[in-house]
Amino acid sequence: MTGNDALVAQLKQDYTQAAVSKADRAMLDYVAKLTRRPAEVLHADIERLREAGFDDRAVLDIAQIAAYFAFVTRMADGLGVSLEQVGRAAQEV
């Protein structure tokens, strides 16, 4: 989607080293914490997103997308289904 293969490679390798905007970095930091340590997410994490320019709707969207991706990934893992199989099945519908 970005058309920037180098950026995609950086994001996959270590997003903290990727050349992204301050807002994107704040979003990625929040998503990483929400994904890896959800019980540790604090009001201060939301405030950092607001300080980076995200309004309440955008914060909600970020959280929902991260949570949905985690849900789908865990469902696929739990059922022994690869995401490639899920993608192919969705394209056939």
Q: What is the mean pLDDT of residues 2-29?
A: 92
pLDDT tens track for 32-63: 999 999 999 999 999 999 999 999 999 999 99
Which CATH code fits 19-92?
A: 1.20.1290.10
pLDDT reported for residue 87? 60
Please state the domain extents for the chain: 19-92
Indicate if the pLDDT at residue 89 is higher than 80: no
- Dihedrals φ, ψ of 37, to 5°? -140, 65
Per the listing, tokens 């201060």 go with: 44
Residue pair 61/74 in contact (Cβ under 8 Å)? The answer is no
pTM for the structure as a whole? 0.80
pLDDT band at 1; cut points 50, 70, 90: low
